[in-house]
Amino acid sequence: MGLLEQAQLQKNQYDEEDQSTNINIDSFDEIQGSGLLAKANLSKIKKPIPSPKKVENRSELLKKFYEPHDLIEEQTGFGWDGLGKRRIIKLKETSEYLYQVIEPELKDYEFEIKKEIAHLFKMLADINVSGDDEDEQKKYLQEILDQIVKDNDIKFYPVEKKEKTDKKSFSEIFQFKKKNKGKSKKKSSTSPIESIKKIFDKKQHAEEKERLNRIAKESKKRIYYHLFREFVGYHRIDVIMKDEGIEDISCDGPDVPIFLYHKKYDEITTNVQFESPEELNSFVVRLSQICGKQISIFSPIVDGKLPDGSRLQATLARTVTKGSTYTIRRFSSNPLTPIDLIKYQSLSLDMAAYFWLAIENASSILFCGGTASGKTTALNALSLFIPSAHKVITIEDTREINLPHDNWIAGTTRQGFSASDDKTGKDIDMFDLIRAALRQRPKVIMVGEVRGKEAYSLFQAMSTGHTAYSTVHASDIHTLIQRLENPPIDLPRALLTSLDIIVFQNAIEIGKKSVRRMTSVTEIIKLDSETNQLIFMEPYRWISKTDDRFEIRTGSKILNDIRLQNNWSEQELDEELERRKTILQWMIHTDKRDYRVVGDIVFDYEKHPEELLLKAKQELNA
């Protein structure tokens, strides 16, 4: 065993923190170092190592978790060995929902062991834990940690310090040996009482050893949970990041708990809070580095994408905000599909069949709405209706769109390294990506959000025969036209006629709950040359909060154009829509909601519509 390992082992000797788990057996002695390095390290640990202190000035909001409440739901299996869990509780007095994270707590000696292993890992290991494959990360990290524990003979239980005994001098030892020299060894006779005592001692020793092994096993699980949370997880918010029900995570500073937006319970407060401004600052820096960005006083704002696709917006303390803050908009690895939108009543079955037929026949669509109204979700879900053979190019600031198509190029903008706000040659913005995309002969161009001069290129692409989909912030048709026609977008009104469908998506409060609804589907008919006004048609419309349903209002120019292109009669068009509604009903009935599965069914319908329709009818009627 090397001097470094021996020196590190000395740091694992602790004061008597827990009398119930201290040992006093000869077989578990301390390992003493002998060299200068070991002595130097020993001198460092003479001072007591500070234990983790509980923060006294916790937020007043956290006191709610100790009030009388009912358990609404619980989910377990988070983190290492599934030791983490979360609960949704409801306060009896105020009926407020709270989000409670429960993780294994470390005892003082476990905290010090975890600290020591983390130190050795950072000092000795040279591995990358920021890759894309989480399972490989965990497997590799476990191998490294197990090796560190083995090489340094780390024990997962507290060790009682042995009192130092005076060492005998060399002459005393020599005289002792000399005095006993020549004496014959006599057989020692053991009495029955001594024999019984030895048996009892052995049994007691075995029981104590078994108890220590049990303690060590449980301690190792708790320590590994926190190590994995630190190195391949998201520290205090690791459980939250693994919860599929979370849409947004908001940290407003070190003095308040984390706030969430839950798919089922809307805005909700958690019991997770950073213990100090320094801890939060460090975590914000780490989040930025995970995104491949650098945050500093010089550049205190970061927008980035986490490895799981979630969007990060972070600010550093004492610059633009008093304390460090961050907001994470979660990205689902299995995005919502049209089946989910129908189940959530965001759109009707008739509307889904309409979009299926319209997108299949290359209709360009613009999704409009306010912040967090579900624009990008609707865009991503309905893009599954794009024919499989089409070449698709997506252009975004931060990757959000997820498609099952094979012939798909995903482009993202890049910010240059210049300190100037002006665009440099190293900046790649949406305008550059759209220009490049048009040279790649795509059938479909999808832009995450238009907000500047890239809109002109996108609408020019529509007018030259490319199918395009995008989103924009606008709550109604008049606001939309005003935004498109004025700087910085500044589109001529004549170009707007190249757009086929405008979808308005809004977040509506119904019964104290926020829901998403497609409030209007609007088709652009033409531009009146005399009045210079756009003429619209609204085939589908959401009625109201009190009457939460969709109505079919007038005819559809898009469907009529498709009917004429395919030489269908009115009856044949209705039959085609009914067939697609049957397929959608079948997917709802059989709970086929995975985006890859939905994409495969849409692709199969292109090739074998009659066979798939027959299968759907058989399963619906079974």
Q: Give the per-residue SS3 of 393-450.
A: EEEECCCCCCCCCCCEEEEECECCCCCCCCCCCCCECHHHHHHHHHCCCCCEEEECCC
Pair 284, 236: CB distance under 8 Å: no
> Which tokens sit at 100?
């409670």
Residues 326, 279: Cα–Cα separation, whole Å: 13
CA distance 331 to 311: 7
Question: Residues 173-226: pLDDT tens digits?
Answer: 445 444 444 444 444 555 666 666 666 677 777 888 888 888 899 999 999 999
Please report the pLDDT score of residue 60 as a whole number: 76
pLDDT at 182: 47
Q: Residue 47 has what DSSP assignment? A: S
Q: Where are the alpha helices (DSSP H) in 191-264?
A: 192-231, 238-242
Q: What's the pLDDT at 331? A: 79
- Identify the burial level of 231 via C-beta atoms within 10 angstroms of its C-beta, where 0-12 means exposed, 13-18 middle and 19 or more buried: buried
Residue 373 near residue 507 (C-beta atoms within 8 A): yes
Instruction: List, for residues 150-160, the tens digit of each pLDDT value.
Output: 988 888 887 66
The verdict on 345 and 293 lying in the same domain is no
Count: domains in the chain: 2
Burial class (CB in 10 A: 0-12, 13-18, 19+), 33: buried
Query: Is the same domain home to 302 and 351?
Result: no
Same domain, 324 and 346: no
Query: Do 476 and 549 share a domain, yes or no?
Result: yes
Helix (H, G, I), strand (E, B) or coil at 215: helix
Whether residue 148 contacts residue 121, with contact meaning beta carbons closer than 8 Å, is answered with yes
Q: Give the residue from 294, 329, 364 where a domain finishes.
A: 329
Flag whether 133 is in a domain: no
Choosing from 297, 329, 361, the residue where a domain stops is 329
Residue 367 lies in a domain: yes
316 and 382 inside one domain: no
Residue 33 forms part of a structural domain: no
CATH code, domain with 479: 3.40.50.300
DSSP-assigned letter for residue 327: E
Where does 11-164 have alpha helices with state H? 36-44, 108-124, 134-151
**CATH value at residue 249:** 3.30.450.380
Predicted confidence at residue 56, as pLDDT, reads: 41
Is the domain of 266 the same as that of 349? no
Residues 518, 365: Cα–Cα separation, whole Å = 13
Q: Are residues 500 and 463 in the same domain?
A: yes
Token pair for residue 541? 């419309």
User: For residue 30, what pLDDT is reported?
Assistant: 37
Task: Say how many C-beta atoms besides its own lie within 10 A of residue 214's C-beta.
Answer: 11
Same domain, 469 and 610: yes
Whether residue 287 is contained in a domain is answered as: yes
Whole-prediction pTM value? 0.74
- The answer to whether residues 531 and 594 belong to one domain is yes
What pLDDT shows up at residue 13? 41
Q: Is residue 211 one of the residues assigned to a domain?
A: no
Q: Do residues 276 and 524 touch, judged by C-beta distance below 8 A?
A: no
Q: What is the pLDDT of residues 41-52, one digit of tens each?
A: 434 333 333 333
The reported pLDDT for the residue numbered 160 is 61
CB 74 within 8 A of CB 87: yes
Residues 325 and 347 in one domain: no
Residues (pLDDT < 70) of the chain are 1-59, 125-132, 159-200, 416-425
In a domain, 265, yes or no: yes
Q: End of a domain among 329, 351, 383?
A: 329
| Angstrom distance (rounded) from CA 550 to CA 349 | 10
Q: What is the pLDDT of residue 352?
A: 97
- For 258, half-sphere exposure in the C-beta direction (CA atoms, 13 angstrom radius) is 27
pLDDT value of position 399: 79
- What is the per-residue pLDDT across 460-495, written as a single tens digit (0 to 9) for each? 999 989 999 999 999 899 999 999 999 999 999 999
Same-domain check for residues 389 and 448: yes
Task: Kindly give the pairing relationship between strand 408-412 and strand 550-552.
Answer: unpaired
Q: Are residues 268 and 355 in the same domain?
A: no
Residue 24 included in any domain: no
Is the alpha carbon torsion for 307, 245, 272, 510 positive or negative? Answer: positive
Domain of 379 in residue numbering reads as: 338-621
Is 148 a domain residue? no
Q: How many CA atoms lie within 13 A of 506 on its CB side?
A: 16
